[in-house]
Amino acid sequence: MLNLLKGRYRARFAENDADIDAAQRLRCLAFRADGTGRDADAYDAACAHVLVEEVRTGRLVCCFRLLHLAGGAEISRSYSAQYYELSALKDFAGPMVEMGRFCLHPECHDPDILRVAWGAMTAYVDREGVEMLFGCSSFHGTEAREYYDAFALLRDRHIAPKRWLPRVKAPSVFRFASRLRRKPDLKLAQAKMPPLLRTYLLMGGWVSDHAVVDRDLNTLHVFTGLEIKAIPPARARLLRGVVG
């Protein structure tokens, strides 16, 4: 069970169909152009869904889903494997979790929401002995030019270790590691970096050398991985401080 209460927000697992429906509706609001209806796919049934709610009102302000894998041998089961050639990760021996469909309510900008979400993830990782966290980190829209500085920073500092590097699989990609020649403006790069990806990187995460152009969700996304043992001790203490 997960029941994390911190300040104005509570994180918990979805308990029934109504909870999952609420998450799918928030995902639609965050990812789909018209914002009406539900964002649902076949992976929902295999995942645990985490909801972050405002305590006073019960309003859903954030959600994400978790797919637990026993190890890299199961990587082909993941959502990410549709878009990235992940055979390099098949040799990863420890438990893995794919975090997907992470989204915040478009009207909610309180940084404590993200802190509570990561606190919930930390509690899950510690409880289940997870050794790698991974997923797709999304930039809004499909125009890579808007994010050149962010991609240049990823190229310079955050490309995956060669032994884990995802290869190209999707039909439409932006190969930023090989195509971009510019030096990043660090201020612009940080401003354009999605909050979820920024948090991954602060903890020692890494990304693919290309971004997938996902016109269905109107996003550019990069494969993102984080080996739990690589998280700096000070950052780990902050995350566990939320849980405690």
What pLDDT digit, counting tens, does each position of 24-82 carry?
999 999 998 777 899 999 999 999 999 999 999 999 999 999 999 999 999 999 999 99
Q: Is the pLDDT of residue 206 over 90?
A: yes
For residue 15, give both structure tokens: 């308990």
Cα dihedral: 82, 88, 89, 90 (round 10): 90
Give dist(CA 162, CA 48) in Å, integer.
Answer: 31
Cα Rg for the chain, rounded, in angstroms?
A: 17
3-state secondary structure of 23: helix
pTM: 0.94
**pLDDT band at 243; cut points 50, 70, 90:** low
- For the domain made up of 3-243, the CATH class stated in words is alpha beta
Q: Which among 93, 101, 95 is positioned nearest to 117, based on CA atoms?
A: 101
What pLDDT digit, counting tens, does each position of 209-236 carry?
999 999 999 999 999 999 999 998 888 8
Q: Which amino acid is at 35?
A: G
Q: Which residue spans within 94-218 are E strands per DSSP?
A: 96-104, 132-140, 167-168, 173-174, 206-207, 211-214
